[in-house]
Amino acid sequence: MAERRVNVGWAEGLHARPASIFVRAATASGVPVTIAKAGGTPVNAASMLAVLGLGAQGGEEVVLASDAEGADAEAALDRLAKLVAEGMEELPETV
C-alpha cells in the first residue's frame, strides 16, 4: 500500500471549495485513493461527503493512500499530495 502524509495547505481546511477541488482530482486520477486524518479512519477520497466529514483543518496532517500497485498509483498520490500541500485553487491540468 502506497501512502503520502501531507499537511493541508488550504487555510480553511478541506471544506467546500477545497474539498471539491480535491475530490475532482481524486476521481480524475482513476486510482482508488483514501484520505484520513493522521490516526483516523480512511474514507473514499472520491466522495465529497466523506471528505467533508473528515473536518480536516488547515495545517493538519492527512494521509493519502492507495491499494493499487504500480507507477500510476504512485504518480496519482504524488499529484494529490502536492494539490493538498500547496492548497491549489484550481485543478492542475496534469490531473
- Among candidates 68, 81, 67, which has minimal Cα distance to 22? 81
What's the confidence (pLDDT) of residue 92?
A: 58
What's the distance, CA 42 to chain centroid? 11
Looking up residue 35, the CATH number of its domain turns out to be 3.30.1340.10
The neighbour count for residue 62, using CB atoms within 10 Å, is: 25
What's the confidence (pLDDT) of residue 69?
A: 85
Query: Tens digit of pLDDT for each residue in 42-89?
Result: 999 999 999 999 999 999 999 999 998 888 899 999 999 999 999 887
- Rounded-to-integer distance, Cα 50 and Cα 42, Å: 9
Q: Which residues contact 45 (CB under 8 A, 6 or more apart)?
A: 22, 23, 26, 33, 34, 35, 51, 64, 80
- Residue 93 placed within a domain: no
- Residue 91 placed within a domain: no
- The reported pTM is 0.90
Q: Which residues are catalytic?
A: 15
Range of the domain at 6: 2-86
- Residue 76 placed within a domain: yes
Whole-number CA gyration radius for the chain: 11
Q: How far is CA 45 from CA 31, 36, 95, in A?
A: 10, 9, 14
